[in-house]
Amino acid sequence: MLVVVIAFIVTVFAFRGMGYHASFTQQIPTVDERGAEQTITETVEYSLPPIVKPYNSEAVLVQPFLGIEEPIGEAPYWMNGVNAGRKLNTVIWSVINGTLLYGLLRLLFRKPLGAAIHPLMEGIDPDDLDEISYRAIAIGFPVFTLGALIFAMIWANIAWSRFWGWDPKEVWALITWLFYSAYLHLRLSRGWHGLRSSWLSVIGFLIVMFTLIGVNLIIAGLHSYAGV
């Protein structure tokens, strides 16, 4: 995951530095206030070469890259997030370049990265790592409660005149909060330490990643506007 994040940062800044640009017009079916179906046309701008184009779209301008002038594929129809095609394209680029970067590091160290950093981990007590993980979550949980729930509700009331609207991002923020509530409960009252606690931390990380990335790709909502 860290290698993919590094690859994402390098990729985005590299193509932006080169001034790369691509543009598509996308036909989006909608329903108006009276329930009548209609189609709106939106322009989707890419700052990375389009491996996949938006669903139901036509290219307006695509700068050639490595001799490729057309997208290889199209975003699936069930990805309904705002600009899902562009975000999916960014994820694909990050995974591809992250894999290449991982391969280069493997060639450089001539061993798996886990084995390469193993000497740095010698002498560290697994129980200490478990305690560090628990304390990090114990500190982050009230911060998340304030930021993602309480302050977010206040902001939502100012922006949309309601504290809670069951928007997909709101729902998954609540799921994240409930999961870490269960983690702390099991840790403190049931004594889940070590391996059980570690697996809960991994599952919690996956839930957070889906809340931040997956919801924006798959589900349309008021919060699905962020992306590269």
Number of domains in the chain: 2
Question: Residue 151 falls within a domain, yes or no?
Answer: yes
Question: Residue 118 falls within a domain, yes or no?
Answer: no
- Give the three-state DSSP class for 161: coil
Contacts of 202 (CB under 8 A, 6+ apart): none
Tell me which DSSP letter residue 219 carries: S
pLDDT along the chain (228 residues), means of 10: 89 92 88 74 91 91 86 88 86 94 91 82 84 93 92 88 86 94 92 89 92 79 53
Question: Residue 224 falls within a domain, yes or no?
Answer: no
* Residue 226 Cα to chain centre, angstroms: 10
Question: Residue 153 falls within a domain, yes or no?
Answer: yes
Clarify whether residues 95 and 133 are in a common domain. Answer: no
By DSSP bridging, strand 57-62 and strand 73-74 are unpaired
| Angle 159-163-167 from CA coordinates, rounded to 5° | 85
pLDDT confidence of residue 223: 55
Clarify whether residues 105 and 168 are in a common domain. Answer: no
pLDDT confidence of residue 224: 52
pLDDT confidence of residue 222: 58
pLDDT tens for residues 133-175?
A: 999 999 999 999 999 889 988 988 888 888 888 888 889 999 9
pLDDT confidence of residue 212: 84
pLDDT confidence of residue 220: 63
End position of a domain, from candidates 84, 109, 134: 109
Clarify whether residues 199 and 150 are in a common domain. Answer: yes
Enclosing domain of residue 149: 124-218
Clarify whether residues 142 and 65 are in a common domain. Answer: no
Clarify whether residues 148 and 209 are in a common domain. Answer: yes
pLDDT confidence of residue 111: 84
End position of a domain, from candidates 109, 141, 156: 109
Question: Residue 171 falls within a domain, yes or no?
Answer: yes
pLDDT confidence of residue 148: 86
> What's the N-to-C CA distance of the chain in angstroms?
18
Mean pLDDT of the chain: 87
